[in-house]
């Protein structure tokens, strides 16, 4: 008899941001007129942002270049000239950086980098994850380990800063921990961490000889008077450090699938160095990352219009995030930490305000029945129940906070909607629906 195809580790793969897309699909099958306002995926394009003209110009020039090079494969780790530019950029931004271009890897978006990085962690070693987190990190780490993720708490009562005591106590009680993941600026919370937080994390990494994996994909998106501080600057050459960056969020081109990994301080520790070499080898099996976006990376970032565009993007993101926060702050039952970076916010429901009898009116009987069935099962989180009722009743699609491994119930929204009319409508409707839901039982 043939052996089984079913992989028991699948239970550890979770990505609620897009799992809810299947639910939307079902609702549309029941009612083809069902209209959705997607607040689940951080894609600026669907929220009215356009690719700047200078980026389109660079793409056009590259496509029309004689020889059609970008239609062929690139070097598996990314073209050496482009990787040299990344290493040089690192030194330009952070003068203490000693990044060597041989330790820069281009990947098909950071999604592919995240998979490869956790894939090559030796069996039995664990990388501790923040809670809440961007689910790809915790989910891939947990899938590779075949066990629930080991997590440290981000504290919503202190602007979502890492709870350093909790982090240290987790490290002490889990000697298999070999590294710490952090995301700054943060998805899903919109928090931006200052130098003291980074310093505390580095001290722990030094004390317990751990590597740090710093996802800085949103590093150019910081506002409300905050300033971005990179792990590269604070860590110097004290700890093994992996930094993730990419194009997906720097310009509205997440479909370009272009990200890169920077392995800093490779000579600090032979174990870490052999891990870096293993990831480099693993990346060869991906063949190469999408050639076109990679090829224009240096010219895009060095273009005089990039800085101008980035400033206006941040100014508008700040305005949108603050308008949304003001609306949500009007609800007593919510605890709102304003976003200071990236383009997300995760309001939490105050303790005890949710229960499993609350509902919202749903006009279409087929949709009502579907949602009632979906939330009836055992173990459905209270914030997931809220998110499903909200979706079915208003079309607004948020992701429950528990989908980001949060131990506090809430929901994550994007702060990207550019159209003021749509934005006002969405958040007026959302606040009304929250009030109705909370008063329904
Ligand atoms: C923190 C973080 N890291 C990585 C990614 C993945 O980005 P990419 O589009 O490059 O795969 C995202 C996407 O939302 C993210 O929020």
pLDDT digits (tens, 9 = 90+) for 189-221: 999 999 999 999 999 999 999 999 999 999 999
- Distance CA(52)–CA(255), nearest Å, equals 15
- Distance CA(182)–CA(339), nearest Å, equals 17
Mean pLDDT for the chain overall: 96
Contact indicator for 189, 221 with CB cutoff of 8 Å: no
Domain boundaries defined on the chain: 8-49+307-439, 67-303
**Which among 123, 124, 190, 182 is positioned nearest to 151, based on CA atoms?**
182
> Which residues does a 6 A CB cutoff place in the pocket of ligand 1?
42, 109-111, 134, 183, 187, 215, 217, 246, 248, 254, 259
Confidence class of residue 1 from pLDDT cuts 50, 70 and 90?
confident
Same fold across 8-49+307-439 and 67-303: no
- Distance CA(261)–CA(253), nearest Å, equals 18
Pairing of strands 411-414, 399-400: antiparallel
Q: What is the pLDDT of residue 309?
A: 96
Contact indicator for 390, 361 with CB cutoff of 8 Å: no
Confidence class of residue 263 from pLDDT cuts 50, 70 and 90?
very high
Ligand 1 centroid to Cα of residue 246, in Å, is: 8
Region label for 78, one of left (φ > 0), alpha (ψ between -120 and 50) or beta (otherwise)? left
- Ligand 1 pocket test: pick from 110, 183, 245, 260 the residue with the most ligand atoms within 8 Å of its Cβ: 110
Ligand 1 centroid to Cα of residue 275, in Å, is: 22
Pairing of strands 126-131, 151-155: parallel
Q: Residues 6 or more apart from 71 whose CB is under 8 A from it?
A: 291
Tens of pLDDT, residues 238-257 = 999 999 999 999 999 999 99
CB atoms within 10 A of CB 326: 12
Ligand 1 centroid to Cα of residue 43, in Å, is: 10
CATH top-level class of 8-49+307-439: alpha beta
Closest ligand 1 atom, residue 259 Cα: 10
Tens of pLDDT, residues 297-334 = 999 999 999 999 999 999 999 999 999 999 999 999 99
CATH top-level class of 67-303: alpha beta
Closest CA to ligand 1's atom 14 = 42
Q: What is the pLDDT of residue 4?
A: 87
Q: Residue 276 is encoded by which pair of tokens?
A: 């870096």
């Amino acid at each position: 008899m043939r052996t089984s195809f079913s992989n028991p580790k699948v239970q550890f793969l979770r990505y609620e941001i897009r799992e809810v897309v299947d639910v939307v699909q079902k609702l549309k099958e029941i009612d083809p007129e069902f209209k959705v306002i997607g607040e689940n995926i951080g894609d600026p394009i669907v929220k009215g942002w356009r690719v700047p003209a200078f980026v389109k110009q660079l793409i056009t020039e590259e496509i029309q270049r004689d020889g059609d090079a970008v239609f062929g494969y690139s070097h598996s780790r990314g073209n050496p000239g482009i990787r040299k530019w990344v290493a040089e950029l690192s030194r330009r931004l952070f003068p203490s950086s000693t990044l060597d271009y041989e330790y820069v890897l281009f990947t098909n978006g950071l999604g592919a980098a995240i998979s490869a990085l956790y894939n090559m962690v030796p069996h039995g070693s664990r990388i501790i994850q923040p809670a809440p987190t961007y689910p790809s990190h915790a989910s891939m780490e947990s899938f590779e380990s075949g066990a629930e993720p080991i997590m440290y708490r981000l504290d919503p009562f202190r602007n979502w800063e890492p709870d350093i005591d909790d982090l240290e106590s987790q490290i002490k009680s889990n000697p298999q921990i070999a590294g710490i993941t952090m995301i700054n600026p943060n998805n899903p919370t919109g928090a931006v961490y200052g130098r003291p937080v980074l310093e505390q994390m580095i001290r722990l990494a030094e004390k317990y000889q751990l590597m740090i994996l710093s996802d800085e994909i949103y590093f150019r998106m910081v506002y409300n008077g905050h300033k971005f501080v990179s792990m590269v600057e604070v860590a110097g050459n004290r700890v093994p450090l992996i930094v993730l960056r990419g194009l997906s969020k720097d310009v509205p081109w997440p479909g370009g699938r272009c990200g890169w990994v920077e392995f800093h301080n490779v000579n600090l520790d032979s174990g870490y160095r052999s891990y870096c070499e293993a990831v480099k080898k693993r990346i060869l099996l991906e063949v190469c990352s999408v050639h076109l976006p990679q090829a224009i990376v240096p010219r895009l970032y060095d273009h005089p219009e990039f800085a101008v565009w980035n400033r206006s993007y941040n100014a508008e993101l700040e305005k949108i995030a603050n308008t949304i926060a003001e609306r949500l702050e009007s609800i007593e039952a919510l605890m709102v930490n304003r976003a200071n970076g990236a383009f997300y916010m995760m309001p939490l429901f105050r303790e005890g305000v949710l229960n499993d009898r609350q509902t919202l009116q749903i006009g279409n009987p087929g949709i009502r029945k579907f949602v009632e069935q979906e939330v009836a099962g055992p173990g459905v989180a209270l914030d997931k129940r809220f998110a499903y009722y909200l979706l079915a009743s208003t079309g607004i699609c948020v992701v429950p906070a528990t989908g980001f491994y949060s131990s506090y119930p809430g929901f994550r929204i994007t702060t990207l909607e550019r159209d003021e009319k749509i934005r006002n409508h969405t958040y007026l409707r959302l606040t009304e629906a929250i009030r109705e839901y909370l008063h329904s039982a």
